[in-house]
Copies of this chain bind each other. A is one copy, B any other.
Amino acid sequence: MKVKRNWEALLLFKKVVIAGVGLIGGSLGLALTERRLAAEVVGVDPNRDNLNLAVTMGAVHRAASLVEALPAADLFILATPVGVTLGVLEMAVPFLTPGTIITDVGSVKGRLVERAEKMLPAGVHFIGGHPMAGLEVSGVAGARGDLFQGASYILTPTKNFDPVALQKLKRLVKEMGAHPVELAAEQHDRLVAMISHLPHLLAATLVNTVAAEPSSDMLLQLAAGGFRDTTRIAAANANMWRDILLTNRDMVLKAVRQFRRQLAEMELAINNFDQTALVAVLERAREVRMSLAENRTYLNER
């Protein structure tokens, strides 16, 4: 979707700081700069090459350290890997000034939200976020300003939320073409365990099942579209997913148990040559899958 050229820039924010300018952080930066939602976007990242590329791409206007960037920022986006977000926030605390809104983009909220609220000074408001969009590539090189177009964007305000902060974030989400959805942090973690973490885990497990066979070379050579589609997300970054699955451990294990329950039902029907039970299970899956709305734009690689 082409971004409309507004002759009046809609400056939602004066200074946005993005910590972690990877695929998501970079895409947020591009969305902000392309749609002129912020006067200034500053990138912070330990990887100097990544940061330089982000500047070159226009995902951020300039690079800086947390110390330099944070004072007087009106939005601070933690787009760091799930495992380091809390640590980066802790490092940031001394440099935060009142009026800053903070959000993250992590696939798991865990204890982040409650701990963030405890450590932040007065006048600084944290509201967790999670755009339901992504690609199997990582790094800013794959970033796109339209990544969030048509995507659901979860926000996890607590009972202590600041209404102005929430409103501004919801506005930002909409201006990026996404659809804000408010959920409690724990509800978020339970949901994403089902629709994101479990699928990733299953895709990886399927690949490993095939890889463990003596005939794996032949299997992979013959594998067609069905196998590829089902295992596409197994190509995702292993470190990132280790952190996600362990941070959301309880919800993920629960989702796996639910899956195993359904798998047992499927296995039983096949084992018993139970045509009726089997076709019922398959038809239910088909109907539900067909009901997934097709009218959203999905940015799938390939």
Contact = CB atoms under 8 A, between A and B. Distances in A.
Given A152-B224, A238-B283, A289-B235, A206 B199 contact: yes
Interface in A242-281: 242, 245-246, 249, 252-253, 255-256, 258-263, 265-267, 270-271, 273, 275, 278-279, 281
Contact of A229 (B230, B278, B290): B230
B256 A267 contact: yes
Contacts of A88: none
Contacts of A226: 134, 195-196, 199-200, 233
Interface in A216-232: 216, 218-232
A197 to B, nearest CB: 9
Contacts of A232: 229-230, 289
B222 A132 contact: yes
A175 B228 CA distance: 25
Contacts of A212: 258, 262
Contacts of A267: 253, 256
B289 A259 contact: no
A191 interface: yes
Interface stretch (A44-52, A91-99, A156-164, A292-300): A292-300
A205 B289 CA distance: 11
A132 B215 CA distance: 17
Given A288-B220, A298-B228, A242 B282 contact: yes
